[in-house]
Every structure is written in structure tokens, then in C-alpha cells.
Amino acid sequence: MTFNYVPGSRVDVPEISYKEEVTLAAGKTALIIVDMQNDFVKPEGNLYVEAAQATVPHIQGLRQAANEAGVHVAYTQDTAMAGDPEFDIWPEHCLQGTWGWQIIDELAPGPDDLVCVKNRYDGFYDSWLDHFLTRIWRIEDVVIVGTVSNICVAHTAASAGLRWLHIVMPANGISALTEFDQALTLRQASSLYAGDVVKDAAGIHFEMA
């Protein structure tokens, strides 16, 4: 089989292996909620992802299940200052202290949740996430949800996979700007990092010891 160096207007999506259900040990699992902030999720936001709002109830249900089982919950919060070099790539967004920077009210962190401010796509980059997941909590499995899937979700999942953390990703718990970007993220999570991609967040269960 040969490939064109420059793909055409349509690209076939390789097969994505989905699971209907996954059961994880609550004490060894963390739920990571990536960048569910006003600038990305709300129509008035500066970098609005139209598909993000539909993921909110699925993430809410997953967070409730995590809270009931005693699963650690961590948030990443994309954070920029004036003149951020990222604004050469994307519209100005998530300026620290603004409405757009805030995590949406529907998913507001609880008092025991970890909030990791980050300056780049990767939630592990120069943040508290690695310290708490691998050194304090001794996590083995991470459930990753949020937006934008092929950017901050994918880079955070990649860093988790490179640390040999087992990745679980619900398809209806992540959102992207295009269907291609969504498929790319799910394909990468399942094939490159041997993660489990679940069709529905409701299919992820936490088992207490």
C-alpha cells in the first residue's frame, strides 16, 4: 500500500477499538478534567468549542461516580498572561483572572479537588499533576475527559501514557473542533498508549476495595 505525502480532502479513519465498560480500582484511579473553562465551553468564549457543551452532563456523571467512590479528581486550567506566544497560533484566551479563564460553574472543583494551572497544552508540563498522581496518590489508572481533545486532552494523555499510567477515555467525555480531531485523539489513546476508549462515560465504573 502506498500513501500520498499530501492527503486528499477526505481521509479514512483507522479502526478505533471501543469498550462498552471498564471497571477500575477506586484507590488507584484519578479523574483528570482538562480545561473545561468558559473560553472553551461557553458560546461567548474566545475559543469556543461547539461540541464541548454536550460533554458536560457526561463529565458531571463521571465526577459524581468518582466522588462517591473516593476517586481523586484533578483539573487542569489553561492559563495565559498578556503577550503569550500562543496567541500567535490561537485567539487570545484564558487570561488569568478573567471570566474566560474560570472553570465552568457546572463543573466547579470541590474543596478536595486538585486544580493544576498550566501554561501549555500538556497538563503535566510544569504543573503539580505528576507530583500528586505518581508520588502522592500512587495512581495507576487515569480517566481523562475535557476539551480540546486533539490538543490539551491529547497532550495530557500522551504525558500520562509516557509515564506508564493506564489511560481510560470516554468518547462522549471529550470534545474537539472537528470530527477528524476527535477521531485522531481516540485513535491515539487506544493504539499508541494502549488505553481503553469507552463509548459512554456511564460505562466507566469505580470499584472500592
| Within a domain: 54 | yes
Q: Is residue 58 within 8 Å of residue 200, measured between CB atoms?
A: yes
| Within a domain: 4 | no
Alpha-carbon span 69 to 50, nearest angstrom: 31
Q: How far is C-alpha 115 from the chain's CA centre?
A: 13
113-127: b (≥16 Cβ within 10 Å) or e: bbebebbebbbbbeb
| Within a domain: 106 | yes
| Within a domain: 16 | no
The percentage of the chain sitting over the pLDDT mark of 90, rounded to a whole number, equals 81
User: Is 0.85 surpassed by the pTM of this model?
Assistant: yes
The total of structural domains in the chain comes to 1
Q: Is residue 190 within 8 Å of residue 161, measured between CB atoms?
A: no
Among 36, 29, 130, residue whose Cα is nearest residue 77: 36
| Within a domain: 17 | no
CA distances from 175 to 96, 133, 145, 153, 189 (A): 23, 24, 9, 9, 14
Report pLDDT for 55.
97
Report pLDDT for 114.
97
| Within a domain: 186 | yes
Residue 144's domain comprises 22-207
* pLDDT tens, position by position, 8-67: 777 787 888 899 999 999 999 999 999 999 999 999 999 999 999 999 999 999 999 999
* pLDDT tens, position by position, 51-71: 999 999 999 999 999 999 999
Domain CATH for 138? 3.40.50.850
